[in-house]
Amino acid sequence: MARTIELLLLRNIENLGIVGDVVKVKPGYARNFLLPHNHAEFPTAEKIEALKEDRARAMAQLEALRKERESLLEKLADVEIALTRSCNDQGLLYGSISQRDIAEGLEAAGYPVEVRAVRLNQSIRRIGTYHVPIQFSRELKTEISIQILPDRELEQFMEKEEAAVEAEASESGESEATVGAAAEKSGVGDRKAQPERAARDKSERA
């Protein structure tokens, strides 16, 4: 069996070609997807000729779409959007941020971006700022900044953190003071003075 077969595309297929293109694909892909869904057929000179106008229109549409996306990418270069979400006192979100969430946030800000163009390379589950790739194709891509904000003030959490730090510092200070007092009480200071008194007594006896 041949490793690849040639087919004539009857419509645009992402990452494969546009209507009127003659492409080489694996037999399984042709048999299980392209042919049964009427996305392609076996090429002949007559069929290729019949699709010339459709192919020209598709190429013009793709070029217009490319220019539109290039313009959008220029605008997205310095964009930072903010999404407000519920979280606990530690800043952990009740649910993660999805590609759709980001696409909808961009849409609301006036930047129409398809969900599939949002390329999340990490799970966003905490309040903070993140850099998210936007990619339309191998050549058309950029990165935007997403700020995830809490839906309420997290002052209680901050106050608890500050109180804990202050308490730790206070305990450390009290511990040092306690050690000093204990040493003084146990006569450490007197023991240090004993050699001096012994020397004076010896001098007086002489």
Residue 80 sits at φ, ψ, to 5 deg, of: -135, 120
Structure letter (DSSP) for residue 32: I
Give residue limits of the domains in the chain. 5-50, 74-150, 156-205
Residue 71 in tokens: 């313009």
Structure letter (DSSP) for residue 30: I
Torsion angle of alpha carbons 173, 174, 177, 179, nearest 10°?
Answer: -110
Tens-binned pLDDT, residue by residue, of the chain (206 aa): 569 999 999 999 988 999 999 999 999 999 999 999 999 999 999 999 999 999 999 999 999 999 999 999 999 988 899 999 999 989 999 999 999 999 999 999 999 999 999 999 888 999 999 999 999 988 999 999 999 999 888 765 555 556 666 777 777 665 555 545 555 555 544 544 455 555 555 555 54
User: What is the pLDDT, as a whole number, of residue 185?
Assistant: 52
Nearest alpha-carbon partner for 11 in 39, 51, 47: 39
Range 74-150: architecture per CATH: Roll (3.10)
Identify whether the C-beta of residue 78 lies closer than 8 Å to the C-beta of residue 142: no
Structure letter (DSSP) for residue 98: P
pTM of structure? 0.63
* Cα 126 to chain centroid, rounded: 11
Alpha helices in the chain (DSSP H): 27-29, 45-50, 52-76, 99-108, 155-185, 188-205
Alpha helices in 90-154 (DSSP H): 99-108
> CB 26: neighbour CB atoms within 10 A?
12
- The listed CATH number (3.60.15.10, 3.40.5.10, 1.10.8.100, 3.30.365.10) that belongs to domain 5-50: 3.40.5.10
